[in-house]
């Protein structure tokens, strides 16, 4: 069982991802904003983080910038989750240190595949 941290400011979004990942047998932790995400990550040391880009306050880019500077988070997989469909967003996310990229609305198959690929 792997520990996955899901950060999204929308509770329904978190519940969706939690449900899918728990069915796949993972232990899911939640964070409702960027600051919480950083604090939770430091507390639980997850195997994977799924990070909504668009959050009030500290956004996904801010979170990854903080985490990637810390020794414990240099290498763990972090997936960007975003409802923005603008071209170039994927490149920007990868350049910012994300290891995966999923757009909302998610297709469950795509989410499962990306998570398993990064946890393998």
Partner 1 sequence: MLLEKRFRELLEAAPDAIMQVDADGRIILLNRVAEDMFGYSRDELLGQPVEALIPRELHARHAEHRAHYRQQPMTRTMGSGLALEAIRKDGTRFPVEISLSPSESAEGFRVTAIIRDTTERRTAEERLRKVREEYTQRLAETNAELEMTNRELERANRLKSEFLASMSHELRTPLHTIIGFSELLSEELEGPLNEKQKRFVQHIHTDSLHLLELINDVLDISKIEADRLELRPEAFDLTALVAESLASVRSLADAKSHKLETALDVPTALEADRLRIKQVLVNLLSNAIKFTPEGGRIRLEARMQKSFVVVSVTDTGVGIPPEEHESIFDKFHQVGATTKGVREGTGLGLAITKRLVEQHGGSISVQSQPQQGSTFLFTLPLGTAGRKT
Kindly state the smallest distance separating residue 91's Cβ from partner 1, in Å.
10
The piece of 43-51, 55-63, 66-74, 79-87 that touches partner 1 (CB under 8 A) is 79-87
Residue 91 in tokens = 């490149």
- 10 binding partner 1? (CB under 8 A): yes
User: Nearer Cβ to partner 1, position 82 or 99?
Assistant: 82
Which residues in 12-71 contact partner 1 (CB under 8 A)? 12-13, 16, 19-20, 23, 54
**Is 18 within 8 Å of 28 (Cβ atoms)?**
yes
User: Nearer Cβ to partner 1, position 3 or 104?
Assistant: 104
Secondary structure (H, E, C), the chain: CCEEEEECCCHHHHHHHHHHHHHCCCEEEEECCHHHHHHHHHHHCCCEEEEECCCCCCCHHHHHHHHHCCHHHCCCCEEEEECCCCCCHHHHHHHCCCCEEEECCCCHHHHHHHHHHHHC
User: Nearer Cβ to partner 1, position 23 or 43?
Assistant: 23
Kindly state the smallest distance separating residue 82's Cβ from partner 1, in Å.
8
- Residues of the shown chain interacting with partner 1 in the complex, contacts defined by CB under 8 A: 10, 12-13, 16, 19-20, 23, 54, 83-87, 103-108
């Amino acid at each position: 069982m792997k520990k996955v941290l899901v950060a999204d400011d929308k509770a329904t979004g978190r519940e969706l991802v939690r449900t899918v990942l728990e069915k796949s047998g993972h232990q899911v932790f939640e964070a409702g904003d960027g600051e919480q995400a950083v604090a939770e990550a430091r507390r639980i040391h997850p195997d994977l983080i799924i990070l909504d880009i668009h959050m009030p306050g500290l956004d996904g880019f801010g979170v990854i910038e903080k985490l990637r500077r810390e020794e414990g988070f240099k290498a763990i997989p972090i997936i960007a989750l975003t409802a923005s469909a603008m071209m170039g967003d994927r490149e920007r996310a990868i350049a910012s240190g994300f290891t995966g990229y999923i757009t909302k609305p998610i297709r469950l198959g795509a989410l499962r595949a990306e998570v398993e690929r990064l946890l393998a």
